[in-house]
Amino acid sequence: MAITRSSRIRSSTSSPEDTKPGYIHHKPSANSFTSVSTWSPRHRRRQQRQPYRYEFRHSGCRSSGRKLRSPLQSARSAPLPKEPQLIPTHPMKDPKSYNARNLRCADQAIDALETLDALARESSDKIRRNAALAFAATQTFNYFVQHFGNATSDDTAKLHKHEIIQRLNVALLTSSFSAVPSAHKHSVTPEGFTKVHPGGLEDVEVTTGNLLSEALSKGASRVLTDRGSDSRPLPIRLVNNLNAGNAKAYITGLDSSGKVFFILDHGDYIYPDARSSRLPVKIAKNVAISLPSKGGSLSITLPPFIRSGRIYFSDDDLQFFVVDIGDGNSLVQPSVTNMRDPNANVSWGFVEFTYIKNLLYANISYVDFVGIVLGMKLVTKDGKIQTAAGLEAEAVVKICDDLVKQRKIDNFEWTSLCIADTTGKPIRVLSPGNQYDINPGVFSGYWRTFVDKVWENYTTRDLVIDTQSKVGMVKCRVIGQELKCDGHDRGLPKPDDKDIWGCNSGPFAISENASLVHTTIVPPE
């Protein structure tokens, strides 16, 4: 498979309407299965018919034509047609003829998807570019599944099949829809709060942070992924203390087979279906639970098994979406980092929980943001009560007031953590880690001086960590700009802003093969 760019395309099969600038254009050929052309407005004066053509080929790994320029240089977006065309595929004559050389060319398919991704990100017409990208990525994925799955005569093909499919799945998630929030220019209120601009379906972003799926939840601990379903149903009571007249609740999670589902107030379940769509699809069925007026409560019974569960509360209707990233239906949940999310203007929050084998794991989730103030009470069979009261009433407004004061003290943009609705009223507060994902420059260098002082201090004295485990006391010292700890197989580098805000990268990252010392000295997330 090669990615080529031709400076001119003249096709007798194309009508003038088909070759208008900005349209997806496909030129059928005997050895191509996907061809996408885009027009660069900057080149129209020099030559009216000069599209940028990106083509996957299975005839070999050679690329023809001029060397590809940077996609960011060559794509200043022209709008795509309102209804993106499904680009036809051309299956090769004998799928079994694929050999190791052909399979190694899968890297170029990934490169081509990344090029299309760059085109999409440069476009002001987001929905059309993303649609074109998704179609190209989906068809590439389907091609590999269809043909490599039948390549039984080639052991190499079988060995590579899983890796290729996995890489294309990742491309669909991280390239088509991005793994981190996209950068947008945001407006601010006079106080410096970030103001939302809720959009529509075309503004929904799918990231690893707001996606609920079986594939992304497999990293959980063994006790939380056990498929045993011998629990008893769990009765819960939702108590409404909101002043909102349209308060809603939504209960989501994964069932014992890993499928996404919603629980309704009368005990029924709804399993959303993306119908294999690689683009988010709005869940049309009503999955909301209407809460009684302030002071009222509603009793609901949870099933014997639910994993990665959330109970959402909101002062108005929330929209949920479903997408197929290659392994079935995945739930696209409301995003706090996307200011154009359809739910951006709604105040909401959630409680996280997992219920397996009569064991309940739950928390009120203020790690990433503060929204609607929530509390939780657990009553055990013997009458004992555990309570997590949550924050005080009007906590969001009070936190934002304090951030205004802090901004005046150190001149950092603390007020950008406050998210205001379209009227300018604060509705939630982001963690600095989430704000870093949106705009890394907001707190750039905030920790640098402090970390330098800490590093200098421990070049001449030991840092002794009480692990409160069988590892016992661990002595560490800075040697050669790395923190070296007794019994540790590697040195720890200086943490930067992102590492400190998130606590899960740099020296705080824990890999699958991390040593026992590392997993005990690194604080849990």
| Mean pLDDT, 10 residues at a time, the chain of 525 residues | 28 33 31 32 34 34 34 34 33 38 48 54 50 53 51 40 45 43 71 95 84 67 48 93 91 95 93 88 95 94 95 97 87 94 97 93 88 94 91 95 97 96 97 88 92 96 93 94 91 92 87 85 72
Q: How many domains does the chain have?
A: 3
Helix (H) or strand (E) holding 295, with range, is: none
What pLDDT was estimated at residue 143?
Answer: 53
CATH number of the domain bearing residue 338: 2.60.110.10
Structure tokens at 186: 């945001």
Are 223 and 116 found together in one domain? no
> What is the rounded CA–CA span in Å between residue 170 and residue 252?
24
Are 253 and 364 found together in one domain? yes
Q: Enter the DSSP assignment of 46.
A: T
Q: Enter the DSSP assignment of 486.
A: T
Q: Enter the DSSP assignment of 494.
A: P
> What is the rounded CA–CA span in Å between residue 206 and residue 264?
25
Of the residues 145, 176, 207, the one at which a domain ends? 176
CATH number of the domain bearing residue 491: 3.30.920.50
Of the residues 143, 176, 209, the one at which a domain ends? 176
3-class DSSP state for residue 114? helix
Are 296 and 232 found together in one domain? yes
Are 237 and 286 found together in one domain? yes
Say if 395 falls within a structural domain: no
Own/partner long-range contacts of 94-102 (Cβ < 8 Å, ≥24 apart): 95/146, 95/147, 95/148, 95/150, 95/151, 96/150, 96/151, 96/152, 96/153, 96/154, 98/147, 98/148, 98/151, 98/154, 98/157, 99/154, 99/156, 99/157, 100/154, 100/156, 100/160, 101/61, 102/1, 102/58
Q: Where are the alpha helices (DSSP H) in 10-123?
A: 71-74, 100-104, 106-122
What pLDDT was estimated at residue 130?
Answer: 54
Say if 152 falls within a structural domain: yes
Are 161 and 303 found together in one domain? no
Are 27 and 161 found together in one domain? yes
What pLDDT was estimated at residue 111?
Answer: 56
Say if 212 falls within a structural domain: yes
Are 199 and 166 found together in one domain? no
Are 162 and 229 found together in one domain? no
What pLDDT was estimated at residue 99?
Answer: 42
The residue segments making up the domain with residue 100 are: 16-176
Say if 166 falls within a structural domain: yes
Are 167 and 289 found together in one domain? no
> Which residues fall within 8 angstroms of residue 74, CB to CB, at 6 or more apart?
40, 52, 68
Of the residues 130, 150, 176, the one at which a domain ends? 176
What pLDDT was estimated at residue 515?
Answer: 86
What pLDDT was estimated at residue 229?
Answer: 53
Give this prediction's pTM: 0.66
What pLDDT was estimated at residue 165?
Answer: 45
Are 241 and 304 found together in one domain? yes
> What is the rounded CA–CA span in Å between residue 467 and residue 473?
6
Are 206 and 320 found together in one domain? yes
What pLDDT was estimated at residue 10?
Answer: 28
> What is the rounded CA–CA span in Å between residue 12 and residue 200?
39
**233 within 8 A of 300, measured Cβ to Cβ:** no
Say if 246 falls within a structural domain: yes
3-class DSSP state for residue 307? strand
Place of tokens 């824990």: 510
What pLDDT was estimated at residue 176?
Answer: 41
Say if 183 falls within a structural domain: no
Say if 119 falls within a structural domain: yes
Amino acid at 141: F
What pLDDT was estimated at residue 131?
Answer: 52
Are 325 and 382 found together in one domain? yes
Say if 188 falls within a structural domain: no
318-to-31, 201, 289, 314, 470 alpha-carbon distances in Å: 47, 13, 11, 7, 47
Query: What's the Rg (C-alpha) of the chain?
Result: 26
Place of tokens 């899983």: 162
